[in-house]
Chain A
């Protein structure tokens, strides 16, 4: 800017007043940019981050510990909603089916969203049971007809790294099974 001042002196085509107003505009522009940019970033941020949400989360379960009996697995991850950071705890019922494939079922009842658990009712042994409206699911998550649920339990996707079970953040619907 000092250069500008010198050139102003030589040519006399820029007055002190003009120079000051230009420099105020310049500084003001930087200040405006400094406040607006973070706001823009904040607005665009979730869009940029969307890709990373498909990450898999490590559980504290080793793959060889998984039996054919469904076990409850809790796993946590951090979630950011604007300014609000929270720890999300997800639960899965994990077991190996007859082919040795790992199945990770969501405990969220497909009726109205209560939490179901395995083998918790004496009347429904070896079933997933929802205590709210007596919804019943088979071991593979299929809803038993005649009970309130409208579809099979959702499933988490899984990965195995170094013998440890990793699960997807969200469970997804099982289509047409």
Chain B
């Protein structure tokens, strides 16, 4: 599901099935490595769309969370919000998708951070781009399925 008017109707009706929220982390920079940041944004945007297509009925894909590279340290606050949502049982799984290895260090707790090194897209033609993105997305898809199974297994063990 996407965070838009049409999907929101389904989301609120079928809430018990949509237990995973996916947040793309997208960098903005207007000096220095701005071009890299723009490429990362496009890359993450395309990969998360492909993932949403695969898992439409279980994942809610939120609009990307935009951060300035210069203020990464302040962003730990973001996670406090999400911590609440997990503790309240609103979502079972929270997945951040990023091209920046920094996030893996920051996030620890009930989150899943999927880090994907971004691929330069500037000179790729459309069909190559589509293939590259689908390949990347497939890896993430396997990752997510594995994560779901892992958490389910852990919960079953706890119940016993």
Contacts and interface: CB of A to CB of B under 8 A. Distances in A.
Interface of A: 87, 89, 109, 111-115, 130-133, 148
B48 to A, nearest CB: 15
A114 B148 CA distance: 15
Contacts of B14: 112
B57 interface: yes
A133 B126 CA distance: 33
A137 to B, nearest CB: 14
Interface of B: 10, 14, 17-18, 53-58, 126, 130, 145, 148
A112 B145 contact: no
Interface of chain A, main secondary structure: loop
Contacts of A133: 17, 57-58
B126 A132 contact: no
A109 B126 contact: no
A143 to B, nearest CB: 14
Given A112-B57, A115-B55, 12 more contacts: A89-B130, A112-B17, A112-B18, A112-B56, A114-B54, A114-B55, A114-B56, A115-B53, A131-B55, A131-B148, A132-B17, A133-B57
Contacts of B18: 112
B53 A112 contact: no
Contact of B57 (A87, A89, A113): A113
Given A131-B145, A132-B58, A133-B58, A112 B126 contact: no
A112 B58 contact: yes
